[in-house]
Every structure is written in C-alpha cells, then in structure tokens.
C-alpha cells in the first residue's frame, strides 16, 4: 500500500479519534493530517498504523496511541515561535508532529539504536528543525534550556527536578506520572518559581528509565 492509500485512513483517524475526543487546536490537527504515521511503524504493523491503540516498536518500546500524542501536543501549547524538548524520541512520530508545530524540537533518547533509526526516517521525510541527543532523558538537555515546553513520552515515578529547572516561566511540562500499572498524565506549568499541577487523565506508558544504552 503506497502513501496515497493511507491518506483516507489518516483523515479518518483525525475525524474519529481526535476531533470527537476534543482535540481542537488547528496546528495539531493540521500536523496529524500531514505526518505519514505509517513511516514510523514497523512493516509488520503498517496496516494498523492508524488504529486507535499503541503499537510495538524496536527495543520493547511503543508508538503511542494517536489520541495520546495529539493530547500531549495540544497541552504543550506550542506555536512557531516556541522550542520544545521531547524526552523519548522512540519511533520519531511524536517528534515529527512537534516539528510541524514548534520552531525547534530538541529530542533526547536513551537507546542509541532507536534514535538513529528514527533520525533516518525523520531526515528522509524532510523534517529539518530537529536536534538530537543520545542521553538520559530524566536529566533533560541543559545546553539548550530553558524550553517553552517539555513533553515526556515515558512514565516517571516522580517528576524529575532537572526538567522543572529547564522550563521557562509559563513553560509547560507534559508528563505521565505513576507506577507500572496506574499513571496520570500531568500538565505542569512553571510560573516563576511556583509550580502549578493539573491532572489530565489516566494513561499507560513505558517507564522512564535512567542511564543510556549504546
């Protein structure tokens, strides 16, 4: 199936999975209509690329459910003037979505092979406003801080302090928090030295792990 045949599936995903659940940011919706999700899914699961659930990728990781990617992207409050730090490059799909919404995407991945594979797909697809780092995501990426937004695509048992420290004032951190079986998607807003927390919904992500894998 070539990319042309995926276009109706992409539109159906946006109409049925995103808009009906309250995703209404025009930039987010436009990005979902433009990014070919099938590029970021292994061949085995390509026919399921636009279904309403996560899919497995290499290294026991997952590509998140489309709605969850959209929700996190919308909560980040991005536009073409803002920078975003993504913790967990994974398949590169969320990275691609963010690259169409934000001015610059900084993405950190602890598994070197996974990021290298995603970078090839993203580069060949023409996403150019992305900078990559192989590192421990719980430490953020201090070199380019502070950020307008930080999105974490793995669940932390508690919010890593380095990520809070790397947020601009009025910056937003979108992060799943909890244990292996019960997690809550949190929106954290930094207002000067004050931190505001808002619970958004229940979710399920792979754990945010320390260290790196070559």
Residue 43: C-alpha distances to residues 13, 14, 16, 48 (Å) = 19, 22, 24, 10
Runs of H (alpha helix) within the chain = 3-13, 26-34, 66-75, 93-101, 112-124, 161-165
Q: Is 168 exposed, middle or buried (0-12, 13-18, 19+ CB in 10 A)?
A: middle
Residue 2 contacts by C-beta under 8 Å, 6 or more apart in sequence? none
User: Active site residue: 64, 73, 83, 91, which one?
Assistant: 64
Structure-token pair, residue 180: 């292996």
Rounded Cα distance, 25 and 43, in Å: 31
Rounded Cα distance, 35 and 52, in Å: 16
Q: H-helix or E-strand containing 63? A: strand 62-63
Active site residue 91: no
Residue 156: Cβ within 10 Å count: 21
Structure-token pair, residue 11: 């539109």
Rounded Cα distance, 94 and 114, in Å: 14
Q: Catalytic site residues?
A: 64
């Amino acid at each position: 199936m070539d990319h042309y045949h995926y276009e109706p599936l992409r539109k159906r995903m946006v109409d049925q999975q995103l808009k009906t659940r309250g995703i209404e940011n025009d930039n987010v919706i436009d990005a979902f209509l433009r990014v070919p999700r099938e590029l970021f899914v292994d061949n085995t699961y390509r026919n399921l690329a636009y279904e309403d659930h996560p899919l497995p990728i290499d290294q026991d990781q997952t590509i998140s459910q489309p709605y969850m990617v959209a929700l996190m992207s919308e909560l980040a409050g991005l536009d073409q003037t803002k920078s975003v730090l993504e913790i967990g490059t994974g398949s590169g799909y969320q990275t691609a979505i963010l690259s169409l919404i934000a001015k610059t995407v900084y993405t950190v991945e602890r598994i070197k092979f996974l990021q290298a594979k995603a970078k090839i797909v993203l580069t060949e697809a023409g996403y150019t406003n992305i900078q990559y780092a192989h590192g421990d995501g719980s430490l953020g990426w201090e070199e380019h801080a502070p950020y307008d937004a930080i999105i974490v695509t793995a669940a932390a048992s508690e919010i890593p302090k380095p990520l809070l420290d790397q947020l601009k004032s009025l910056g937003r951190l979108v992060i799943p928090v909890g244990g292996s079986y019960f997690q809550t998607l949190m929106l954290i807003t930094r207002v000067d030295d004050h931190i505001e927390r808002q619970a958004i919904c229940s979710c399920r992500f792979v754990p945010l792990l320390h260290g790196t894998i070559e």
